[in-house]
Amino acid sequence: MIIKQIIVGSMVVCCYIVACEKTKKAAIIDPGGDEDKVLAEAENMGVDVEYIIATHGHPDHVCGNRKIQEATGAKIIMHRDDELFFGKSEVKNYFSMLGMEASPPADRQVEDGDIIEIGEVKLKVLHTPGHTPGGMCLYNAPDIITGDTLFVGGLGRTDFPGGSHDQLIESIRTKLLVLPDETVIWPGHGYGGYRSTIGEERTSNPYL
C-alpha cells in the first residue's frame, strides 16, 4: 500500500492518497482544501482515484469532496452515522459558521468492520465515535489513518455538536490501543507531529 500525506487547507488538515501499488487504484482521504494540489499529486503518482473517504464529516475534512468528485468521478464514502448526523439541517447550520463547504451525499455508507477495497488494498473500517458520531479510522496493517480520533500526543476535540469525551476515550482504548505497538498512526492534523505509533501513544500520550 502506498500512502502519501498532503497538508491542505486553512485548517491544516492531513489529507492522504492511499493507492494500490499493483493496480494504481487510489482513494483520497479527507481532502480539506487545496483540491488542485491534491489532484496534481494524484496525477504525479499516476493513480486512478476511485474513492473519496471521509474519516468524519467536519467541514475542514470534507470541504474538497465536491471538487474532487467532479474532477475524478470518485464515489464518496462516509460512516453511516456521520452521513445521517451531518445531513441534519441544524447541524449544517451550526457548522456553516466555519465558512467551508459541506460534503455532497455519500455514495456509500459504511459501518464498523466493513472493508473498503482499493485495488488489492483492503482498508478495514474501525468505528471510533467521540469526535463525531460516525468518526472512523482506516486500518491496513501496519498502518492506520486515524482522522481526528487520535493525534500525536493528543486527541480530537469533543466540544462540537455530536462529540463525547468519554465515548472518544472508549473508542481509542477498545479499537486503537489493542492494535500492535508497531502500528503506524497517520493523524488528521499534525498538531503534535505527522506520524507516530500505537506503542508511542500508549506510553507517552498524556490524554491516555
- The predicted-structure confidence for 158-184, as pLDDT tens digits, reads as follows 999 999 999 999 999 999 999 999 999
> What is the model's pLDDT at position 97?
85
Give the sheet arrangement for strand 48-53, strand by strand.
2-8, 13-19, 25-29, 48-53, 75-79, 108-110
pLDDT band at 98 (very low <50, low <70, confident <90, very high): confident
Which pLDDT score is estimated for 25? Answer: 98
User: Model-level pTM?
Assistant: 0.97
Write down all domains in the chain, each with its CATH number in brackets. 2-204 (3.60.15.10)
pLDDT of 155: 97
Write out the E strands in the chain: 2-8, 13-19, 25-29, 48-53, 75-79, 108-110, 115-118, 121-127, 136-140, 143-147, 150-151, 154-155, 184-187, 196-197
